[in-house]
A and B are shown apart, each in its own frame.
Chain A
């Protein structure tokens, strides 16, 4: 079984994003970029399935600018076998990404597509579900455990009240939650080896997908700032404050 793993290049999760003064977006010039953390978990899960013998080949794919190659090389260094970059400088919305991924999946015929549950830049949490819809395949979203057996896969999902387990017929789409696994670091020899692994570059037009945006961003602003707080000296003073807030009778 082949596994397709879509990965996204995003602002590093440790960087505090700055909103541009003209309100057109978030300033990404000279900001550290990395692989979306949920996608690292997706790559790791694919590799573990391969190590267990449940998968034969891992194909990493990314939609983004030329620099997204670095993100794909990271996936290759972790253990993916080859990569596809669908190169574009436009911002591509989840619906268009899902359409591109559906075309790649049509070509590659993966048994599983494993995505992160959301990208930490647009926080949409849509692409996996949309891909599943377009392919008319089952979806196992927010996965914290994945078990492949024959032509089904059991997915334990993180839901609001706890955990739930569902069975999906493969081919299936899975999106990862944080607790699915602990992604490995790429070792230096593997980073060197990754440089010679195949990386194909394509364009959205090669797949006949229109990536025009459906949503227009009118403005981006900083959230309202909280006014400065006070420090209290001891528990008694805190209780007085709580009483004045009406929390304590």
Chain B
């Protein structure tokens, strides 16, 4: 079986999300990676080094710079003639492009897979992760998005794939990019961080969030996350949100501070290896999933914890 993986990148660096997709694709067969972008040869060279990749296809066109689905999907469809599966990460890029590809190929997409059971059978979460479905596809070609936290990341080095430049399909003329406002952060990226410190509504305002959560995160070299309540209340931007509708994370350690643990939030973090909860309400649902719980006032406990941590 030949597979095609869509590389997630920013035209300079291959994003880690792609590495987990390579692992999933390798379970199905030969892994080809598509790097579509503008002036992105560096990304193709990085992809060629990834262990398990046998071919990198490089499609450079100004029309691909921002991965607009209208422009990228026809390119992918053209490449699917002799390939059997298309896999993309469950990132905002993958989720935007893959269903468009699936419909153009007239196949049902399998979203956000957790495991590959066989060439046509996969598991995926439904109902905010409250149930795991095993599904078998009857389509000739598979279109799949992959949950990054469910697969080990392929090694970034050790591979020596050939990079092949391919023709482009140009601009579909349906959409154009205007601009982006990206959050700037020195901290590790949320979806790939080993440790995450997350804050909820109990922090009361943005000042408290910055004053309490961020110093703790910095001391632990952790990424900062938030519940939907904290995002909706404007304490932090919405790309911090962990949950069914935000990011899905599975770090080594997830520290939930002042988060009650609604099912939509748990959907985004309950696969973390160790969950630590700090909450004053000892009946909060978060304690049902927490490995280590500390009941008490976060305004007292968090500064004390930050202070006493070495380093």
A29 smallest CB distance to B (angstroms):
15
A243 smallest CB distance to B (angstroms):
9
A173 smallest CB distance to B (angstroms):
10
CB-defined contacts of A120 to chain B, threshold 8 Å: 127-128, 244
Q: Is the CB of B180 within 8 A of A165?
A: yes
Known contacts A95-B108, A161-B183, A161-B239: A167-B292 contact under CB 8 Å: no
Binds B, one of A52-60, A138-146, A193-201: A138-146
A134: interface (CB < 8 Å): yes
What separation, in Å, do the CA atoms of A117 and B244 have in the docked complex? 12
CB-defined contacts of A142 to chain B, threshold 8 Å: 92, 95-96
Q: Is the CB of A169 within 8 A of B263?
A: no
**CB nearest to A237 among chain B residues:** B294
B114 smallest CB distance to A (angstroms):
9
What separation, in Å, do the CA atoms of A226 and B93 have in the docked complex? 31
Binds A, one of B30-38, B79-87, B136-144, B154-162: B136-144
**CB nearest to A140 among chain B residues:** B175
CB-defined contacts of A178 to chain B, threshold 8 Å: 228, 232, 245
CB-defined contacts of A232 to chain B, threshold 8 Å: 292-294
**CB nearest to A129 among chain B residues:** B99
A172 smallest CB distance to B (angstroms):
8
A209: interface (CB < 8 Å): no
CB-defined contacts of B211 to chain A, threshold 8 Å: none
Q: Is the CB of A125 within 8 A of B99?
A: yes
Which of A125, A127, A140, A249 has the most C-beta atoms of chain B within 10 angstroms of its own C-beta? A125
Q: Is the CB of A166 within 8 A of B102?
A: no
What separation, in Å, do the CA atoms of A212 and B210 have in the docked complex? 52
B176: interface (CB < 8 Å): yes
CB-defined contacts of A177 to chain B, threshold 8 Å: 245
B287 smallest CB distance to A (angstroms):
7
Q: Is the CB of B134 within 8 A of A126?
A: no
CB-defined contacts of A165 to chain B, threshold 8 Å: 177-180
**CB nearest to A159 among chain B residues:** B92
Q: Is the CB of A220 within 8 A of B133?
A: yes
Q: Is the interface of B mostly helix, strand, loop or mixed?
A: mixed
CB-defined contacts of B131 to chain A, threshold 8 Å: 17, 19, 26, 220-223
Known contacts A167-B178, A229-B291: A218-B252 contact under CB 8 Å: no
Chain A interface bracket (under 10, 10 to 19, 20 to 34, 35 or more) = 35 or more
A32 smallest CB distance to B (angstroms):
14
What separation, in Å, do the CA atoms of A162 and B294 have in the docked complex? 32
CB-defined contacts of B180 to chain A, threshold 8 Å: 159, 161-165
Known contacts A129-B96, A219-B133, A220-B126: A124-B244 contact under CB 8 Å: no
A90: interface (CB < 8 Å): no
Q: Is the CB of B111 within 8 A of A169?
A: no
CB-defined contacts of A126 to chain B, threshold 8 Å: 99, 102, 109, 111
A168 smallest CB distance to B (angstroms):
5
B11: interface (CB < 8 Å): no
Q: What string of 1s and 0s marks CB contacts (under 8 Å) between A115-138 and chain B?
A: 001101111111111111110111
Known contacts A214-B107, A229-B290, A230-B291: A235-B133 contact under CB 8 Å: no
B70 smallest CB distance to A (angstroms):
5
A188: interface (CB < 8 Å): no
CB-defined contacts of A166 to chain B, threshold 8 Å: 66, 68, 175-178
Q: What string of 1s and 0s marks CB contacts (under 8 Å) between B161-191 and chain A?
A: 0000000000001111111111100000001
Q: What string of 1s and 0s marks CB contacts (under 8 Å) between B76-117 and chain A?
A: 000000000000000111011111111110111111100000
B212 smallest CB distance to A (angstroms):
14
Q: Which 6 A-B pairs have the closest CB atoms?
A: A129-B99, A133-B103, A130-B103, A138-B174, A214-B108, A126-B99
The contact sample of 17 A-B pairs, CB cut-off 8 A, is A98-B103, A126-B99, A129-B100, A133-B104, A141-B69, A141-B95, A162-B182, A165-B179, A166-B66, A166-B68, A214-B137, A222-B132, A223-B130, A223-B132, A239-B308, A242-B276, A247-B195
The interface of chain B, by Cβ under 8 A from chain A, is 66, 68-70, 73, 91-93, 95-104, 106-112, 121, 125-139, 173-183, 191, 195, 220, 228, 231-232, 237-239, 244-245, 247, 252-253, 263-264, 270, 274-276, 282, 287, 289-295, 301, 304-305, 308-311
